Structure 1
Amino acid sequence: MSENEKKDKWYGNENFWMWAGVTACGLALIIPFAILLFTNNFSLEGINGLGTFGDFFGGTTVGLFNLSSILLVLTAVIMQRKELEQTRNEFVQTNKTLIKQQFDNTFFNMINLHNEIVRTTNIGETIGKSVFKNILNNINRRFKGSNKSHESLLDSYEYYYSNYDYIFGHYFRNMYRIVKFIDEADLDSNEKKNYIGILRAQLSTSELSLVFYNALSDKGDKFRKLIQKHEFFDDHLNDQEIYHQFKHLLASR
């Protein structure tokens, strides 16, 4: 049993003090008559007798009535403290719920913005996710025609980044803001993992691969730290040869 449970079991229990107060009050009423009964002294003789009985009754009950009052006041204080604590806990819970709702609203608005960016991206007649697929194919084709080193991969990525910086810049800035928003939120690790999963579910395999290339480059330095922290890729690129070849570089950069 914890210390807090012991407190509630004993002096933090208002029922205990209430019954103690009621018991003291009952004893205050019973004791004078019990004394008279056991001493066989019930005779009262006139006014003087009443005065003597009054002194006797007061002397044997006032202390107990005072104790009863103290115990009942203590009961009221404990009950008020518990009510205040319950009110505070309800306020804290309500506040957490409101903060969570605000986070969800902002997060899903950012997700909607991401999807809108992808939907409206175009190169000529190619639009949406097909744009990222075509860019990735071009990067991979250029890389496979080289010596297939880390430097040649980055060179291929940088080449197409410079040609399509108006696409990459907007896309990755928004992606970085979403992951950073999750990272800085007052959430536990499982909740953050869940939101990262929701974001990742919006991405095609081509987009995930481009995020990986970006994380290996100097342009993705800040993003790379968040990607590593939250295991952004998980096992979703395991069937990609280039990812297997260079994924160890994420930790070494």
Structure 2
Amino acid sequence: MKDNKHSDNLNFSEYKYIAIGMLIVVATIYLAFNTTDNTSSNQIASWGAVGDFFGGILNPTFALLGLFALLATIKLQTIELRHSSKALENSHEELKLTREESKKATTALQQQSKSIKLQNFENTFFKMLDLHSEITKSFHLQKNIQHIKSSINDIPIQFHYNNKGKVYKEAIVELDRTLNRLLINFNTLKNYQSVDNIEDVPKNFINQIDNTNELYIVFYKEFQQYLSHYFRNIYQILKFISKTKGINKKFYTNIFRSQISEPELRLLFYNVSSVMGRDKALPLLVECEFLEHLPYDANINRKDVKLYIKKALELGYKPSKVFGQSEWNDGSREWEVICKELTQEVLVEITEHNPTECVDNSLE
């Protein structure tokens, strides 16, 4: 009810001036009729004068009122436009804030998703490291006296070794020594550790076998129950790291490599140099420079490095990349220098055996 009364007062206030104006007009006409002569001619003349009077007064008045009304309308429209513009600005600011909040929310969700993925990766990664440790600890060379008996190209191989029932790290060291002794005794040079040039070796030290790859296969088959599971797990860990996006792969491969001993690195080097691991494992080792801390010493002969280099060139990899920036044990030379020298020798040998074969020298 109060709202209705208030509305009525407003309506009366708006029209009261019009009502007053109409009363004035009526009163003026009434006075004009009573103060003038009522004869026809005088009445007509009086009406003409009244009409001219009102015409002269009302026309400018209405014109002025119309101008005021126009100005009032323009002012109202200006106010309305200003209010509309401000409302649009506020709406734009709100929309901008909404977009910023949405962007922040999206970024937060992406970071959360990335964090969850990283956490899942690390959980799996460290479980795989635990498994690798368990596999290594399970090494147990059970018999004290063993012998390798095989043949390569109809050349008999009989090699005895004594592992003394060693387990875990000692077993790995013994496997590394056994492979080294096997290569020394049957791979072209009996003085395999200390002699690089075959021309400096007496003829009676020269063996008929000249194939590190075949000798490694004989060794692998003899100890396959230990090595197959071990190398497959290394391959799966490196593959898992390589295929995971959005992580610092070098960081995690370094963590994994820190768990690998020097004898294990040597065994891994021979594995990827042979047909047993060169197709699948070698590309992963090259990608992460996994043999970076493998020393070049008496346990690795130049001709074995040449075997690796030949495989790397065949697969299209830069031979020195797998060794990273590591140096020899004495720090005097780097793997980069060794690989460069031996790559030239390998290229010459390939050219001599097959002149039509072309190897990309840019891989040196």
Could you say which structure has the greater relative contact order, defined with CA pairs below 8 angstroms and 6 or more residues apart? 1
- Of 218, 221, 241 in structure 2, the residue corresponding to residue 159 of structure 1 is 218
Contact 1:135 1:160 in 2 (8 A): no
Stretch deviating more after TM superposition (126-135 or 102-111): 126-135
The one of 77, 91, 97 aligned to 1:59: 77
What's the offset of the Cα at 1:160? 1.7
Q: Letter of the aligned partner of 1:132 in structure 2?
A: I
- Residue 32 of structure 1 corresponds to none
Alignment of 1:35-54 (within 5 A): 47=17, 52=69
The structure with the largest helix share of the pair is 1
Give the aligned partner of residue 96 of structure 2: 78
Gaps of 5+ in 1: 1-45
Q: Taking structure 2 as the reference length, what is the TM-score of the superposition? A: 0.52
Aligned-residue identity in percent: 26
Question: 2:58 maps to what in 1?
Answer: none
Q: How do 1:230-249 and structure 2 match up within 5 A?
A: 230-239=288-297, 241-242=299-300, 245=303, 246=305, 247-249=308-310
2:39 is aligned to none
Change (3 A) 1:134 1:55: same
How far apart are 1:231 and its partner, in Å?
1.1
AA aligned opposite 1:233 = L
Q: In the alignment, which residue of structure 2 is the partner of 1:252?
A: 313
2:260 counterpart (199, 203, 208): 203
Relative to the length of structure 1, the TM-score reads 0.74
CA contact (8 A) 2:180 2:299 kept: no
Give the aligned partner of residue 103 of structure 1.
Answer: 121
- TM alignment of 1:1-253, pairs within 5 A: 47=17, 52=69, 55=73, 57-124=75-142, 125-146=165-186, 147-148=188-189, 151-188=210-247, 191-220=248-277, 221-239=279-297, 241-242=299-300, 245=303, 246=305, 247-253=308-314
Deviation at 1:47, TM superposition (A): 4.8
Question: 1:21-76: CA deviations, max 9, x gaps?
Answer: xxxxxxxxxxxxxxxxxxxxxxxxx7578x94854541331111111111111111
- Runs of 4 or more consecutive aligned structure 1 residues displaced over 4 Å after TM superposition: 46-49, 51-54, 148-151
Is the Cα contact below 8 Å between 2:139 and 2:168 reproduced in 1?
Answer: yes
Residues 211 and 47 of structure 1, relative CA distance in 2, 3 Å threshold: farther
User: How many pairs does the alignment contain?
Assistant: 205
Q: 1:252 deviation in Å?
A: 2.2
- Say whether the 8 Å CA contact 2:272–2:281 is kept in structure 1: yes
Question: Which residue is 2:23 aligned to?
Answer: none
Cα RMSD, aligned residues only: 2.3
Question: Any gaps of 5 or more consecutive residues in structure 2?
Answer: 1-15, 19-64, 143-164, 193-208, 315-364
Q: Which amino acid aligns with 2:246?
A: L
- Tell me the SS of whatever aligns to 2:294: coil
